[in-house]
Structure formats: structure tokens, C-alpha cells
Amino acid sequence: MDKLLIAGGKRLSGTLRVSGAKNSALPILAGCVLTPEPVALDNLPHLHDVTTMLELLGCLGAEVVVDEKMRVEVSARHLDQLCAPYELVKTMRASFVVMGPLLARFGEAEVSLPGGCAIGARPVDQHLKAFEALGADIEVRDGYVIGRAPDGLTGADFRFDLVTVGGTQNLLMAATLARGTTRIGNAACEPEVKDLGDFLNAMGARVSGHGTPEIVVEGVDALHGCTYRIMPDRVEAGTYLIAAAATRGRIRLNQAAPDTLSAVLDKLREAGADVSTGEDWIELDMHGRRPVAVDVETAVYPGFPTDMQAQFLALNAVADGDSTITETIFENRFMHVQEINRLGARIELDGPSRARVHGVDTLKAAPVMATDLRASFSLVVAALVAEGTTLIDRIYHIDRGYETIEEKLSQLGADVQRVSRAPARSPARAGASG
């Protein structure tokens, strides 16, 4: 199992290109099922989760081709399987978004209940209520959700009980081929939802209001193929900005989307960073200064993203002053605290949704273990500022969401190695710990 060895104490400095957004790529790949015509996608990130989604499409019978420019073409003309199996869906929660496209185009679908990161229950009941509102018969049996709409789906007015990105995406795709008009209330406003709506419109859908709480979808008889470019990954961009700030460094991100990161950029400025932006670039410079502690509370978009909470907590761990991190989106999303404390941080949990961080001058290297996708990178941030060499285990979590992490960090001057086993400890060192 791969691990990362990070020798800390170096300021990150340099230029990076931001990858395509994983949280856009996965539902857009699922949306390729909506048409029998080929769909070509540019700027698709090369991640384990993307590979899993491509495997799932192949399992359904789609043809997937990657050309010499790493553009992916998906043809779902001859799907011969309408069941998304447990073996694939259990590894990645986002796989569940194939349910809406399959129901819309074929009138039936069987999808395993999802798995993914252990950061809370995140039930799919909102998805199922939405499908039922469009006229589908839904049954949960033996760990699978079975949906049937033999006469097709029918547009309806539906309001989510709570804001759900996956539920909004699933309903949005299902509604494109439904008869009549669907109005979606309390919809998620994330940029990735807007990106999905833009993609569907490129295929001939009639979607409006995507990116706002009220989305309107006028159903069409069929969708066609298209070529589409995935938006930049705001979580990757924000993560590297936070890492540079924590190490008192300087970074420029190209092919970024600064308008999707306002809440994060505001917090970085509050932490003492000089931040400037252009249409598709972001620059951050700490001028060698230690960051200032900043309180953070996660919220649905356009608030501070839950997917960057762990990384900012790691920054606060070495910041000047005390801070509070409040998590309002998911329960059980402070599993990284214990591991960062192993490096000498002073973080206390105040109930399940709040952490109090007392900034320290420096951290010390120690072996740590990743617990979920975003928390994994909080350990990377902490290791980058720690004295000595930190070994991070179970980095398959990182590979699910961050493209070529060791290469990108090396571009910024970090001392990072991917290893398949931990380096052997000397007998003297081993004895000293006994």
C-alpha cells in the first residue's frame, strides 16, 4: 500500500495548473448515459474516482475511449446492463448519480446503495423522493435501489427537504427527458451543479436557473452528443492555496476559477495572505509571514466549503493565535484531529461539530494515517510545515481526489516521495522508543 514521505520545513513556491473538477467530472460522466451519441470530455482529471466511474460505465455496456490528448469519449449507444453493482458503487458514493440518467432514458435502473468516505450517514432518501415525484416506482431490496418508470418520467414540482448536491444532480439529469416541466426547489447552488447544467444544455437539454436555488427543466424527447470541457477544480485550487499559506510561501495557480472560491480567498486574506486574481488565475503570497488564526464555519455554497475545512484546520494549527472550526454540513468530519495532534498540534474537540485550535510555533514529524479524502490532505499540509520527515499511510484516499500529488508538490519545491513501504527504523531508534 502506497505511503507518502514528506520532509517538512520548506516554503511552497511556484506555479501550478489546476486540474479538472472531480465533483463535476463524476456526474457529467454519468450524464453521458442520457444519449446514444458519443460525448467527448476535455479536462477530465486523472483520479481513482474518475477511473471507477469509467469502469462503472463500461460495466453498463458503454464504450470508453481515451485519445492521445487524454480526452475521453463515451458512447452509450448499446447499454446492455442497467444494474450498477455493489462492487463499484461501494467504493464511491458519487456512483449513485447514474440512477437518474438510467431511469430517464430506459425507464428502469438498479443501483447499489452507495459507499464512499466515512464522514456521516449522508442518506439518499432525498434522491428517492425526487424520483418518486417524477412518477418512478422505487423499491429498496437486498442493498439495492430498484427504480421503474415503464411509461417514462413526468415533470413535476419538487422541493428538497434539505440542500443536497448529489440529489440535485440526480434529479436534474432525470428531468431532462421527462415529459413536461420540472421545477426544483431548494436546489444546491454549487458551481459543479451549474457545470452539469451547462453540460446538459450542450447536449440539447433545456435547463435554466442552475446555480441558483430554483432550477427549471423543460423535458425534451432526446439528447445528442457534444464536446464539453470540465470546469477547474475549486477544491484542489483551494487546497494548494492553503498549503502555500501554511508554509509561508508563494504560489500562482493557472487555469483556475477564482469566482468559485470567494469564501476561501476571503479567509486566506484574513489569515494574512496577499491574494490577487484574474479571469483564470490566482496568486497568493505570504511574504514569509506566519499565518494568523482565523475562525471558520462551513456552509453550503457560496459559504466556506466543507471539503476545505480539514486543510484550513491544519493551517490554523501553526497559525498565530487561537481559532474555532465549526462543521455544519457533515457529522463525524473531525477524524483528522487526532492525527494532526500526533504531530504536536493543540486541537481540542468541543462536541461533534466544533474544534478549538491553539496555534503552535511548529509541528514535529510523526507517522500518521489518512482517514478520508479531504482529511488526507490536511495531514499533507501539517507534514509540509513539520520539522523532520513525516510518513503518511493509507494515501489511496488522497488519490481519489488529487491528481499526481507528489509531482505537483515537487513542482512547488516540496520534498515528497511516494513509497510502497515504510523505511526501516534503525535498531537504536527502535530501541529508544521502548
Active-site positions read 117
C-alpha cell of 172? 436534474
The upper half-sphere exposure of residue 398, i.e. CA atoms within 13 Å in the direction of its Cβ, equals: 24
Q: Which has the closest alpha carbon to 98: 78, 76, 68? A: 76
Dmax (CA) for the chain in angstroms is 74
* Cβ count near 422 (within 10 Å): 11
Give the 3-state secondary structure of residue 86.
helix
C-alpha cell of 359? 496555534
Q: Are the CB atoms for 28 and 421 separated by under 8 Å?
A: no
Q: Are the CB atoms for 412 and 16 separated by under 8 Å?
A: yes
Q: Please report which helix (H) or strand (E) contains residue 5, including its range.
A: strand 3-7
C-alpha cell of 26? 463524476
Range 285-291 contact pairs with CB under 8 angstroms and sequence separation of 24 or more: 285/250, 286/244, 286/245, 286/248, 286/249, 286/250, 287/250, 288/11, 288/248, 289/248, 290/248, 290/318, 290/319, 290/320, 291/245, 291/246, 291/248, 291/315, 291/316, 291/318, 291/319, 291/320
Q: Which position has the grid cell 418520467? A: 153
Orientation of helix 125-133 relative to helix 165-175, angle to 10°? 20
Rounded CA separation 362/360 (Å): 6
C-alpha cell of 75? 458512447
The upper half-sphere exposure of residue 153, i.e. CA atoms within 13 Å in the direction of its Cβ, equals: 38
Phi, psi of 138 (to 5 degrees): -115, 135
Q: What angle do CA 418, 287, 322 make, to 5 degrees?
A: 80
* Cβ count near 173 (within 10 Å): 32
Q: Which position has the grid cell 497568493? A: 284
